[in-house]
Amino acid sequence: MKKEHFTYRSVIDAPAGEVYRWHTRPGAFERLSPPWERVNVIRRTGLVEEGSQVELSVPAGPFRLKWLLEHFDIEPGKQFCDRSLDGPFPHWEHFHRFIPQGEEICLLEDHIEYVPPLGRAGARLGANHIQMKLGNLFAYRHLVTGLDIAVHRSERRWHKPLKILVTGSSGLIGSTLCAFLSTGGHTVIKMVRSRNQTGPDVFFWNPAAGKIDSSGLEGLDAVIHLAGESVAALRWTDSKMERIRSSRIGSTRLLSKTFSVLEQPPQSFICASATGYYGDRGGELLNESSAAGSGFFPELCREWEQAAQKAADNGVRVLNARFGMVLSPRGGALAAMLPAFSLGAGGKFGSGRQFISWIAADDAVRAIYHAVIDNSLSGPVNLVSPDPIANSDFTRVLARVLHRPAVLGIPRQALKILLGRMADELLLASCRAVPSKLLDTGFSFCFGRLENALGCILGKEKCL
């Protein structure tokens, strides 16, 4: 079969050696995997080294296939290559090249030689489709590479790599954050609840039992606390609400208490919170100085933030990260909405007039890093885009990006019958929050417009 060729190039504002190193660090594969493709690492034998391998699970329509790749022809600072040993393509060789264009700039080139799957039929029917998918994929990869490296270079006010502990590291935000930090050259320590996870940078805790391995908290630059019971459930029963509450407040109290007995407590404590703090506020524009609302979720957020502020008694800078709806097809509210919207069965919730404060997952991760680096930030900080949007407009934009109609909708009463209190406090509540503190400290959003964010993270348009 004839080999097909694909090449994608872009200019990165960093030396070739630095861009090469970014690609070879832990987390690079995760950062470069587009969120709309459910690619999972099954196993790997080292990082980017001659002969090292990575086995992937990749989507193929409703099925999943295994794909075994091997690194070869490595020239440190210049190139590395991958070839397929077993998988969907009869032949696949991917050449990553880092070509200097001066001392502070390089050309990043990805060149692939491949034979399409399914023989001649695949070559005839799938050639254009494969090229289009590769174009969207590498536009995303090059965007992430350039943005991540630019952020780390611009924020490099520290004269050493940071040492950062993350709880909730397997969650939607936590997993993305850990990959972002690792590729930036920082040391990431994970606080986990399973003793099956082991390693020099993994420590155990059991917040429900009040147990924690405090040795992992000594001498840290920052602790980023993202762990907590998921709020996504069909109904908030009394027991579910108690788990939501205790998992957040109990774990935060445990961390704050542990800081008080450390010889070297962390310099910063970034603790998750939510824009649910403000409650149902209609069209009122909300910033970090706005008062708390009323109801289960606002009361939870208020107590959650108070538990984190206890750490300030030990000289720790405390920041309460009030997350809006974090957008990613890998999890959270957007992932839950996608099946219905992809079938053309989506629509507004209730009246559709309620505001949604949202943020793209990558912007959320970069905002957390900005909060770690910028010592002027403390207290509540809204992690939302500058463009809160009404639910009816949100669903219309999502449908347009997916090229589907959005005419059905779910009446308010149906949501309340189906989901009870969760519908009132999460889906029907209106929160029009803006990121005043982030903007005041110079943070720049990559995805400030909803249509651009959805188009990019869903792979429906090129990100560059």
CATH number for the domain running over 163-457: 3.40.50.720
| Residue 434 Cα distances to 31, 126, 381, 385, 440, angstroms | 27, 44, 10, 7, 11
Please report the pLDDT score of residue 2 as a whole number: 82
**Distance from C-alpha of 344 to C-alpha of 365, rounded to nearest angstrom:** 31
**Distance from C-alpha of 156 to C-alpha of 154, rounded to nearest angstrom:** 6
DSSP sequence for 344-376: T----BTTS-SEE-EEEHHHHHHHHHHHHH-TT
For the chain, domain boundaries? 4-154, 163-457
Helix count and strand count (H, E) for the chain: 13, 21
Residue with tokens 């149902």: 280
DSSP sequence for 58-69: EEETTEEEEEEE
Question: Is the CA virtual torsion 54, 189, 35, 31 positive or negative?
Answer: negative
Q: Is 363 within 8 Å of 445 (Cβ atoms)?
A: yes
For 4-154, CATH number out of 3.20.20.105, 1.25.40.20, 3.30.530.20, 1.20.1290.10 equals 3.30.530.20
**Helix, strand, coil: what percent of the chain each, to 5?**
40, 25, 35
**Distance from C-alpha of 222 to C-alpha of 191, rounded to nearest angstrom:** 13
The encoded tokens of residue 409 equal 């909708």
Identify the segments of the chain with pLDDT beneath 70.
Answer: 1, 120-126, 156-159, 233-234, 462-464
DSSP-derived 3-state class of residue 276: helix
Q: Residue 453 has what DSSP assignment?
A: H
Please report the pLDDT score of residue 158 as a whole number: 54
